[in-house]
Structure 1
């Protein structure tokens, strides 16, 4: 494989791996966000924990700084005081008691170097016999090779900045000044540098004019260990305090959230139809009063629902009983009306016209009675389906054949758009045909004599039939109201084909019984379109429809208008506005 192809392959593999990692991170972040949004207890505990950490960190930092400052300042004052006392002893020890420095004092021996006696005086044991905690370095400025030190100190251990500053003081004649420095110094015999407080000063002999530089090295390892222990204690106490506050927040949140969660679960069960759901009442606090209020609300709601169910049952039973009871007298009246209608030619014109009107109204009354009986079956839950595999195209053709006579009387023509392949589906042939007849009758009545377009579509899961008219249309919000019982868009407009006002309501119930959809679209002046969508297999869930609810020409018009929407640009020199190309 050429090098270029190998590089491309590696890049592609790297991108795939990186994409997989990103997807996993996004999924994990999404799960975390979901848990965060859904858990009130987690939000309370996390918020308390974050605030506690911030407070503990601020307080711990402040305490650690103050303790560190106090310990260091105390050590500095003590070190400077001891250094000054030692310099006074050195000055006294270097001051000669006679005019001849070679003469020993009271039988003493002549010292070759006075610094030897001085170091014995300065570095001696303390009053309690303990060894001093610091080391001393004495440098003879006049004789650079002459220096004395305690321990393993050498002149090179003195910080350069400290020695330079001390020399400047000597040049100015400021012999009583003390120069200090805090640095990490690595002394002989030590593996790591130790934080050391170095104090420098000058011992000046006025009689001889000789200067001695005195440096005290105070190791601060003890202070560092103390401050380290203090910081560790602050961290441990702070961590324990944070955990304690988190535990307290968890317990408090649990005491508050648990009743709320129980109330939420009870409300969900109540909403699902379990009207006997109640909350346990404990105590007399606000949560207990909330539980009491919820229980009272649930009891009142259950009572109202029970009353409404009884009223609805009474109404459905009344409609069903009346509808059945009316069939017998209606049959008798219909027989008498048929006799009068058949003999109308023997009557005078007024009586003949009355017989015709009575015949038409009896037919409308019979149709309304049949619709009421059908509605009562749906209300009682007694409606069933007689399913058969049927080609929906044949059902559409039969429905159009039944509607052609009415369409001719209203000067309306049908435009069919059928697919070439069969549209098989498991449906109740009688009910679906009734749906289509109701849709066609409604389109004829409101189509104002214009053509009605009937379209059939199908995909793998569903079949659909759309009935499109070009009449008065629907106002916003009426696309759902049109399926209400006895609803009319214009109450003042009389029905022209003698409908009962229950056709679309029954059609929606028939579609729902099939597990399908019956939807409406309409705009004033643009007409309406009703779309019936049914699953191919009985009991299958619908995921979509093969046909669009909005007519294709309306969709194309919207798209065209959106593409041609002008964009106003700033005014040109002639004051006109121009469209963007």
Structure 2
């Protein structure tokens, strides 16, 4: 399903645009060519029919209408009109009109049902009756005029002329319906041809798009895999075009990135191994030094007053070094991915009380937690989180430190708020960074700068998180959110470690 959606998205992007552009170009070319062809054929067909009919009508007017007496009767006009219509090629109907000196009009028509004087446009009648000036470019006072009209829903050609030197005026009417049908057939043929051209262009565009986009799709897939961490991905390069150059550039970039990442990973692994080895090697002499300092601390009251401060300094610094080594080893386990959860059902109020009591913080911490709030967590890691958060609050914020617990659905929320000036805004984004100390805004700390980062790592391994902010009432507030049951996450961690 996901692949189909991605394919659809690819289709609606560059491929569709290429097909649309090809189609528009082909459609424009086909419509233009069809329009020009239709217009040229239309004019050729109509002009041929028109010239043939008007030429025949002019000849008939000269042969038949001109031979009538000066004042023909209606019967003579009708007979002549019928003769002209019967001999016409192409077929047309004829109306002959003769005007007497007294203004009376005599009309003769070949077929009064098909064509009468009323069917002749007034503009054509006026043009036929108008006498032209004789000049070098115009040798005759009267000319043959024509006009295309629509009569009773069909196309017709109507023409008219006047006998020069006296005689009747003749009008002819021939149908253009056959030509219209032929032109409609031509239009349909050109339309079908345009449609086939559009379809062909779409198929060609699809083939061209496939040829162009396949390398682009391969490049996109390779970039996606490279982004997912598969640094050994490479593209097959063929040809000398721009896409081939792009593939070569990608391969060189991927190769350089793989080498750089490999070098960085090697250095990082060496650094982690060095820290782990150093921490491990320090534990043995630290154990001996700790034992000696404990003896010295017990005998401190009997020592020379000049020596006692030095002994106290050695004891405190030894404890600090011991804590630093333990923290470094813990960080190393997190970095190596070997940290695991050992879950147990914990009463949160009892766990916090035990943490505070073990470190003699009962007088400096106010606990707001109901007993009976149970959670399935790693007790040791929860103790580390609480000890680091509360210890940090006591060092930098001052007592009393308020610890409150409240359940929120499937989550457990533990808030630790101190009584100090709060955390500066520029320090807040870095409080969980390793070895970060806000020495410019707080008194010098004897900590290592690892306690809060270790607390965050322990929260993450539970599937939780810690946020830091300043409380509206004053002081800094750290909020720990943990799932009330981390069993599923513990199983995932164990499976990940087995792999």
What TM-score, normalized by structure 1, do the two folds share?
A: 0.71
- Residue 184 of structure 1 is matched in structure 2 by 150
- Aligned to 1:157, what secondary structure does the other structure show? coil
Q: Which residue of 12, 18, 21 corresponds with 1:47?
A: 21
Provide the rounded CA distance (Å) in 2 between the counterparts of 1:158 and 1:404.
126
Contact 2:376 2:487 in 1 (8 A): no
Structure 1 residues 244 and 323: alpha-carbon distance in aligned structure 2, compared to 1, 3 A threshold? same
- After the TM superposition, which residues 453-468 of structure 1 pair with which residues of structure 2 at under 5 Å, given as runs? 453-468=402-417
Structure-2 residue corresponding to 1:114:
76
Q: Is the 8 A contact 2:402 2:417 kept in 1?
A: yes
Q: Structure 1: how far apart are the matches of 2:426 and 2:114?
A: 96
**Deviations for 1:90-121, whole angstroms, at most 9, x for unmatched residues?**
3322147xxx99xxxxxxxxx99433653465
SS of 1:348's partner is coil
Change (3 A) 1:525 1:299: farther
Q: Higher relative contact order at CA 8 Å, sep ≥6: structure 1 or structure 2?
A: 2
Q: Which residue of 1 is the match for residue 344 of structure 2?
A: 388
Are the aligned partners of 2:403 and 2:416 in contact in 1 as well (CA < 8 Å)?
yes
Q: Distance in 1 between matches of 2:169 and 2:113?
A: 10
Partner of 1:446: 396
Which structure 2 residues correspond to residues 427-442 of structure 1 after superposition, within 5 A?
A: 427-442=377-392
Q: How does 1:316-327 map to 2 (within 5 A)?
A: 316-327=272-283
1:487 Cα offset (Å): 0.6
Is the Cα–Cα contact under 8 Å of residues 123 and 132 in structure 1 kept in the other structure?
Answer: no
1:341 CA displacement: 2.3
Cα offset for 1:394? 3.0
Aligned twin of 1:469: 418
How many pairs are equivalent? Answer: 474
Is it true that 1:134 corresponds to 2:92 in the alignment? yes
8 Å CA contact 1:417–1:456 kept in 2: the answer is yes
1:35 CA displacement: 3.0
Is the CA contact (8 Å cut-off) linking 2:459 and 2:465 kept in structure 1? Answer: yes
Go from structure 1 to structure 2 and tell me whether the alpha carbon gap of 1:232 and 1:484 turns closer, same or farther (over 3 Å shift).
same
Which residue among 120, 123, 126 is the counterpart of 1:162? 120
Per-residue CA deviation, residues 177-212 of structure 1 (Å, 9 max, x unaligned), is 5554433335xxxxxx43111123444773xxxx64
Q: Structure 2 length normalisation: TM-score?
A: 0.82
Cα distance in structure 2, aligned partners of 1:247 and 1:138: 62
Which residue does 1:195 correspond to in 2? 155
1:50-85 per-residue CA deviation (whole Å, 9 max, x = no partner) reads 454345445544553454345445544544444333
Kindly state the Cα deviation for residue 167 of structure 1 after the two structures are TM-superposed: 5.9
**Does the aligned pair in 2 maintain the 1:93–1:118 contact within 8 Å?**
no
**What is the CA–CA distance in structure 2 between the aligned matches of 1:488 and 1:424, rounded to whole Å?**
35
**Structure 2 Cα separation of the partners of residues 443 and 338 of structure 1:** 28
Contact 1:52 1:242 in 2 (8 A): yes
In structure 2, the gaps of 5 or more residues are 133-140, 490-499
1:276–1:500 distance in 2 versus 1, CA, 3 Å: same
Distance in 1 between the 2:231 and 2:105 partners?
A: 104
Q: For residues 334-370 of structure 1, what are the alpha-carbon distances to aligned partners after superposition, in whole Å with 9 as ceiling and x for unaligned?
A: 2222222222223222211111111111111111111
CA distance in 2, matches of 1:32, 1:235: 36
State the SS of the aligned residue for 2:307.
Answer: helix
CA contact 1:337–1:359 (8 Å) conserved in 2 = yes
Answer with 315-324 or 355-364: which moved more: 315-324
CA distance in 1, matches of 2:27, 2:121: 46
2:284 equivalent to 1:310 = no
Unaligned runs of 5+ residues in structure 1 are 1-30, 102-110, 187-192, 542-581
Residue 526 of structure 1: how far off its partner (Å) = 5.7
1: CA distance, partners of 2:213 / 2:177: 52
